[in-house]
Chain A
Amino acid sequence: MNLKMAGPEIYYLAASLWFLLATFFEGGFSLREAPPGEAQDSDAAYLRRQHFNALCLALAGILVCLASVYSQGQLFIRAYKLDLFSQVFKVILSLALFLIVCICGEIPDIGRRRSNEFYFLLFTCTLGLMLLVSADHLLSIYLSLEVSSYSLYILVALRRYQGFGLEAGIKYFLIGTFASAVMLFGMALLYSMTGTAYLDDMAKVLPGIIGRPGIVIGLLFTLGGFFFKLAVFPFHLWAPDTYQGASNQVAAYIATASKVAAIAVILRVLAFAGQGSIYLVHVLAVLSVVSMTLGNLAAIVQKDIKRLLAFSTIAHSGYVLIGILVLTPAGYSGAIYYALAILIMKFTAFMVITELASDGRNLRVEDLAGLHRRSPILALALMVSLFSLAGIPPTIGFTGKFLVFVAAIEKGYIALVIIAMINVVISLYYYLLMIRAAYLLEPAEELPPLGVSIPKKLLAGASTLMIVLAGVYPPWLIQLAQSAAQSLIP
């Protein structure tokens, strides 16, 4: 067994342990009786230092993941598989963590007392997601899913001051455990039908017996656990409440990293199902249509931006499912590309929100009023990311949809694509309402310009540029997605 291959996993484990240790040693001076002003100063300094450490660790993590991008092989008695697919997703996940840490400079609603736990959980969650994209055995999938989920349950509940945090955490936890139970049931069915828990071995047996009801139900139930992560109907109920209750940064993490990994693991499991059965495809198509329609219609009436983005996430999971359910390499590469697109565009939108709500409160759509004067660059970033979410070219969101739609129509699912495009029209309505708020509405009372720091401006500029560039000239990324999808096919 060659542990060097598992570099990223070991690195993220070590990084999270480092923050865990930090929680033991910080107590000494934080409990010290000090004049309030001085205590605040030292608190702020400590927060800044820890943020800087986290930033460095996350940045180094990207390098570690990049260094191991071409490692291949199997670990832990074949329960863990490294291939281009998993390694590319690890790079994407490490990038997601880095981006999220970038906007965690101020976490007022979590506070200095829990900052170490906060970073610890972020890193363990990323570790869990990385394990998930490599897991190649039903049990290792289950375990890594739970590692990431439990970190997230606590992260959501960490936001104590605003009242919603605990409620959201518990809701998230209850639905999550329910989904896990469903998934375990599905896994048991799969195991009983195929006699193996290794995905590799299943791939050999499955194509012959894919039409059997036990297999279809087993697969669907297993997917249920991942659908929970991806917020696909009927496992979507947690998303709006959790986004609303969690702090902005945690919501951003759930909307990006967690979704990316969910797409990866669904691809992993379904790629083994070969050509699939017609029942499976039909059920997935119905789930996809219901998810996007429900998500988009519900988003129209939302006032809270995070709730709105939660419903838009549900809609997006519907679009991604189209790429997945065609069960062809073209569809898989479309879904992989879409995962990257979700990461970048959702992050950009959330970055603007966290920057605008510097005290960590929840924003309403009308709070965006006057943004174009208060900070032109943030307004621009928000507009571009929203157009990208709507899928207007030339943005990364459009390219993602385009790839998915091409794959679907090549398979003959043109009705599905037309429904999806109608949904795009619906979604543009509420995105335009946000853009209207940012560019047209004037705030009730005069608000000062936002003091956006230079690094944040750079970050906003870079992610905006990335959205547009990946939309204008995407061949390199498409190539990458295609090779990753190729390595997925058994």
Chain B
Amino acid sequence: MHMASASFPFLSAILLSCVAGMIVIMLIPADRKAPIKWVSALFSGLTLVLSLIVFLSYDKSLGGFQFVEKVQWIPSLGISYFNAIDGFSAPNLLLTGIVFFTGVLTMWELENRVKEYFALYFLLVAGVFGLFMSVDLFFIFVWYDVSLFPMYLLIAIWGSTRKEYGAMKLTLYLLAGSALILPAIIYLYAASGLHTFSFISMMQPGHLSPGAQKFAFLLLFLGFGILAGVWPMHTWSPVGHVAAPTGVSMVHAGVLMKIGAFGVLRVAIMLCPLGWIYWAKLMAVLAAVGIIYGALVGLRQIDLKYVIGYSSVSHMGVVGLGLSTVTAEGLNGAVFQMFAHGIMTALLFSSVGYIYDRTHTKLIPELGGLSRIMPVASAFFIVAALAGMGVPGLANFWGELVVFVAAFRTYPVLGLIAVAALVVTALFMLRVVQKTFYGPENERFAKLTDVSPGLGIPRMILAAVLLFLGLYPAFLFDVIQSASVPFMSGLPR
């Protein structure tokens, strides 16, 4: 396999700018809120630029792992600080950069405990970045937990609706995931007999017996699956998303759930391909149930954020369905859908956050006619909702299309049912749009102002990305394919 070392440690620079940002924020006195926000914007902008550079300079024709950085960390256990990017992680890195930056800008109006919020937010994102770029199993686990532990405070302090319950439920569920992941990782380490946690050494075929792969795959799939919102382990996700403050909801639904799907792909599927083939049917069934269940439950919600939360369950089911097809197309579609869904939910939460900050309600029956009061804010939501319905011309269309084509070939029945569920998704998205933005106005909100240009920037970026990828999907597909095609052709059959 090709491995290109990095001339400049871009990946570490990304991590470093998160950590440095956090440290600088912690050094600023708590009452100087404006400098804290500017520093946050500066450092998150820097990470966005760096991740964009990494994505653009990833050599698609070469494929394999690039930007490799390796430092021995704990030699006696074969642990090294080992970063590299391949076609699966490059899009996720970019996604994180975009959501991170726009998440900071979205929270520009925050007034309560600003310093702590941004410090914890930077720590959270550092964990996410670390997980996407790490190719050492030990570090993958460490980053997973680093991204987990600021979560409780972020939700419980700055959240809304049943925030303490939501925060506790989310934290415990995600830690339960890590309770399965850690034994599985150590098991792989012991079973391979290589005495290293390096993902790249372990993924060479022949080190793991079929039995070990089947066992470890199940643990890893369930563990990461909790974070990916796989039905029936999804219940933390709507509750947590509703409770979280806007910026955290964005990172959470936009990026953190992708960590789960990415973990399934990176650790479970790539290390235990035989386990993957063995358990693929189970994955497909759970994913299909998730798609239908999320859509049907979403139909009955009256809280805007709950609607988005359940639509996430449904959309992440699409990702799971793509992963379960055991085809290169399925993987392509799944990774594309991860990216598209990340941007889309970030935009949805960001728009709802704006509306909630003004109206102080998220209940659909209390809203109504908002498109006349705040047309711009409404437009952002409607664009994201259209993307969620899979309308051609926006990013999600391609992800869903590719996944369903692959799924039809492998599991015709499940594919059919899942496509039917998409109609329900479209129905509930349209229902929300109609009831919230059209229909009779609530005169309580008639005086509210629309999105200012400053606050519009993050939403515009997100909407632009959705549109750009809708028109030019090859921008992502080419990169993803450089990883999925070699991986599938190397698969034992």
* A binding-site residues for B, Cβ under 8 Å: 372, 387, 392-394, 398, 402-403, 405-406, 409-410, 414, 417-418, 421-422, 424-425, 428-429, 432, 435-436, 439-440, 473-475, 478-479, 482
Contacts and interface: CB of A to CB of B under 8 A. Distances in A.
A393 B141 contact: yes
Contacts of B236: none
Given A393-B146, A429-B172, A473-B73, A406 B189 contact: yes
Contacts of B187: 409, 414
B164 A409 contact: no
A421 to B, nearest CB: 4
B73 A475 contact: yes
B186 to A, nearest CB: 4
Given A394-B142, A417-B186, A440-B164, 7 more contacts: A393-B142, A402-B138, A418-B179, A425-B176, A435-B152, A475-B75, A482-B76
A414 B180 CA distance: 11
B179 A425 contact: yes
Contact of A424 (B142, B164, B175, B189): B175
Nearest to A410: B190
Contacts of A421: 178-180, 182-183
A440 B157 contact: yes
B74 A422 contact: no
B18 interface: no
A405, A417, A432, A478 pick with most chain B CB within 10 angstroms: A432
- Tell me whether chain B's interface is mostly helix, strand or loop, or mixed: helix
Contact of A394 (B74, B76, B146, B164): B146
Interface string B155-185: 0110000001000100110011011101100
Contacts of B76: 475, 478-479, 482
Contact of A475 (B74, B172, B186): B74
Contacts of A479: 76
B153 A405 contact: no
25 contacts: A392-B145, A392-B148, A392-B149, A393-B145, A393-B146, A394-B142, A394-B146, A398-B142, A402-B138, A405-B182, A409-B186, A409-B190, A410-B190, A414-B187, A417-B182, A424-B175, A428-B172, A436-B156, A439-B153, A439-B156, A439-B157, A440-B157, A475-B74, A475-B76, A478-B76
Interface in B281-303: none
Q: Considering the complex of A and B, which 9 residue pairs feature the smallest CB-CB distances, nearest first? A: A421-B179, A393-B142, A409-B186, A417-B183, A410-B190, A475-B74, A393-B145, A425-B175, A425-B176
B186 A405 contact: yes
A120 B349 CA distance: 62
Contacts of B175: 392, 424-425, 428
Contact of A406 (B146, B172, B176, B186): B186
Interface string B41-82: 000000000000000000000000000000001111100000
B360 to A, nearest CB: 21
Contact of A474 (B74, B146, B172, B179): B74
B152 to A, nearest CB: 6
A432 B77 contact: no
Contacts of A440: 156-157, 164
Nearest to A387: B149
Contacts of B146: 393-394
A393, A403, A406, A473 pick with most chain B CB within 10 angstroms: A393
A479 B76 CA distance: 8
Contacts of A414: 183, 187
Nearest to B175: A425
B221 to A, nearest CB: 15
Interface in B308-360: none
B446 to A, nearest CB: 36
Contact of B168 (A392, A394, A409, A432): A432
Contacts of A435: 152-153
A429 B145 contact: no
Given A414-B187, A432-B171, A424 B179 contact: yes
Contact of A436 (B149, B164, B179): B164
Contacts of A429: 168, 172
Interface in B114-158: 116, 138, 141-142, 145-146, 148-149, 152-153, 156-157
A188 to B, nearest CB: 40
B117 to A, nearest CB: 12
B183 A409 contact: yes
A289 to B, nearest CB: 15
Given A394-B146, A425-B176, A478 B156 contact: no
A389 to B, nearest CB: 13
A473 B73 CA distance: 7
B152 A432 contact: yes
B345 to A, nearest CB: 26
Nearest to B182: A421
A348 to B, nearest CB: 16
Nearest to B219: A418
A17 B182 CA distance: 50
A387 to B, nearest CB: 6
Contacts of B149: 387, 392
A475 B186 CA distance: 18
A372 to B, nearest CB: 8
A403 B172 CA distance: 23
Contacts of A394: 142, 146
Given A429-B168, A435-B153, A406 B77 contact: yes
B180 A418 contact: yes
B184 to A, nearest CB: 9
Contacts of A403: 77
Nearest to B142: A393
Contacts of A418: 179-180, 183
A342 to B, nearest CB: 20
Contacts of B179: 418, 421-422, 424-425
A407 to B, nearest CB: 9
B149 to A, nearest CB: 5
A435 B172 CA distance: 14
A393 B123 CA distance: 13
B16 to A, nearest CB: 14
Nearest to A411: B190
A417 B74 CA distance: 21
Interface in B169-228: 171-172, 175-176, 178-180, 182-183, 186-187, 189-190
